[in-house]
């Protein structure tokens, strides 16, 4: 693997999932693979799970990991070409990225969308500029439109649950991505990315449900059944992935703050005792009810702990590629 920006960088999802599951059983299996290698983790936005799981994953592979909060620890970066830098930005990515490329062997970056201009966000200008100018493998820690480490973890977690479950092996599990209410406009990254991964994986009967006005970019949803009736989607579901996103059409807006879309035990009765997923952080009793989060169907903390093994599988693939052992 040369980089990890989206599912398109992965040749075999199941093989990568199996590698992540192997690391879960044997965290130190490849403890010298990353000896004398250094990963820089750049954060332009906050993180808890992504930051810590990537640090632990790198450590398990013998790598040194340096975390740098761009803008807070260092200079604020400029990404526009040809700009006159007489405003607040101090340093251009054209200088910063090659410097990072000289300091590190792998560069991992979190850079959220601004949710102001759809074309700008969907051009993935920020992460693409790092790819263009740093000269080393780049790993997305969540970009403007995608969150591939989260999605790999999600597919891994579904695979793990299926291995443990009594579900019929011949029948594809029904996986439902449901929109949930939120008080702030959130990116479409997790929903886009989950949809892209689960449809590429093609081992589930995949449904998306959301209120009118919250369709996702169809580039990511090819192969999904999309309905505006949440009850119709939830019927007989084996996995329910709960996530808010702001409007793609009325870009970055909140159109519906109603609580009727929040999953609760009454709604869950329609499912096949579904496992409930969320990438976290979650706002209790806004996005997801206490009764679900504290109940037996929630697998949100299993999902979050699996972030380590997914990150470790990705980093090990990139290290192996660099060493020519793939
Ligand atoms: N799910 C996720 O990416 O969590 P953090 O924002 O805490 O990294």
Task: For residue range 223-232, list pLDDT tens digits in order.
Answer: 999 999 999 9
Does residue 84 carry a pLDDT above 90?
yes
Count of alpha carbons within 13 angstroms of residue 222, beta-carbon side: 4
Of 43, 49, 243, best ligand 1 pocket probe by most atoms within 8 Å of the beta carbon: 49
Does residue 5 carry a pLDDT above 80?
yes
d(CA 262, CA 219): 26
Does residue 257 carry a pLDDT above 80?
no
The kind and range of the H/E element at 153 are helix 148-164
Mapping DSSP to helix (H, G, I), strand (E, B) and coil, where does residue 172 land? coil
Angle between helix axes 49-60 and 307-323 (nearest 10 degrees) is: 50
**Whether residue 243 has its Cβ less than 6 Å from ligand 1:** no
d(CA 45, CA 50): 11
CA-closest residue to ligand 1 atom 4: 49
d(CA 121, CA 112): 9
List, in order, residues 6 or more apart from 41 with CB less than 8 Å away.
51, 54, 55, 65, 66, 67, 68, 108, 109, 110, 141
Q: Which residues of 303-314 are buried (b: 16+ CB within 10 A; e: fewer)?
A: bbebbbbbbbbb
Q: What percentage of the chain exceeds 90 in pLDDT?
A: 93
**Whether residue 301 has its Cβ less than 6 Å from ligand 1:** no
**Which pair of tokens denotes residue 277?**
């997923």
d(CA 150, CA 311): 9
Does residue 212 carry a pLDDT above 90?
yes
Per-residue pLDDT, 165: 83
**Selection from 68, 19, 13, 18 nearest residue 43 by Cα:** 68
**Whether residue 50 has its Cβ less than 6 Å from ligand 1:** yes
Does residue 256 carry a pLDDT above 80?
no
> Which residues make beta-bridge pairs with 176?
207, 240
Q: Which of 76-80, 172-176, 221-225 has the lowest mean pLDDT?
A: 76-80
Per-residue pLDDT, 259: 82
Does residue 326 carry a pLDDT above 70?
no
CA-closest residue to ligand 1 atom 3: 50
**Whether residue 277 has its Cβ less than 6 Å from ligand 1:** no
CA-closest residue to ligand 1 atom 1: 279
pLDDT tens string 144-170: 999 999 999 999 999 999 998 877 777
**Selection from 226, 141, 156, 236 nearest residue 190 by Cα:** 141
Average pLDDT, the chain: 96
The kind and range of the H/E element at 67 are strand 64-69
Predicted TM-score (pTM) of this structure: 0.97
Count of alpha carbons within 13 angstroms of residue 103, beta-carbon side: 17
Average the pLDDT over 3-18 and give the result: 98
**Which pair of tokens denotes residue 50?**
């992504």
């Amino acid at each position: 693997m040369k980089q990890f920006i989206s599912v398109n960088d992965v040749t075999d999802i199941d093989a990568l999932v199996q590698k992540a599951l192997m690391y879960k059983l044997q965290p130190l299996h490849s403890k010298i693979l990353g000896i004398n290698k250094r990963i820089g983790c750049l954060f332009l936005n906050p993180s808890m799970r992504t930051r810590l799981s990537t640090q632990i994953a790198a450590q398990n592979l013998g790598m040194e990991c340096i975390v740098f909060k761009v803008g807070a620890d260092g200079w604020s970066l400029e990404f526009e070409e040809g700009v006159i830098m007489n405003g607040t930005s101090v340093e251009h990515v054209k200088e910063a990225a090659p410097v990072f490329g000289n300091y590190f062997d792998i560069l991992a970056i979190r850079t959220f969308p601004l949710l102001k201009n759809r074309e700008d966000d969907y051009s993935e200008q920020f992460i693409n500029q790092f790819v263009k100018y740093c000269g080393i493998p780049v790993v997305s820690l969540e970009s403007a439109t995608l969150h591939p480490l989260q999605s790999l973890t999600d597919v891994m977690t579904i695979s793990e649950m299926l291995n443990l479950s009594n579900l019929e092996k011949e029948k594809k599990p029904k996986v439902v991505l449901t929109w949930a209410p939120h008080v702030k406009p959130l990116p479409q990254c997790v929903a886009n990315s989950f949809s892209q991964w689960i449809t590429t994986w093609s081992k589930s009967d995949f449904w998306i449900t959301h209120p009118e006005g919250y369709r996702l970019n169809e580039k990511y949803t090819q192969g999904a059944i999309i309905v505006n009736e949440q009850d119709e989607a939830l019927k007989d579901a084996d996995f329910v992935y709960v996530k808010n996103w702001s409007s793609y059409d009325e870009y970055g807006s909140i159109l519906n703050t109603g609580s009727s879309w929040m999953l609760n035990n009454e709604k869950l009765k329609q499912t096949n005792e579904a496992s409930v997923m969320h990438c976290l952080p979650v706002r209790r009793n806004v996005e997801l009810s206490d009764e679900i989060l504290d109940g037996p169907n929630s697998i949100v903390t299993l999902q979050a702990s699996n972030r380590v093994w997914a990150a470790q599988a990705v980093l090990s693939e990139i290290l192996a590629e660099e060493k020519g052992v793939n």
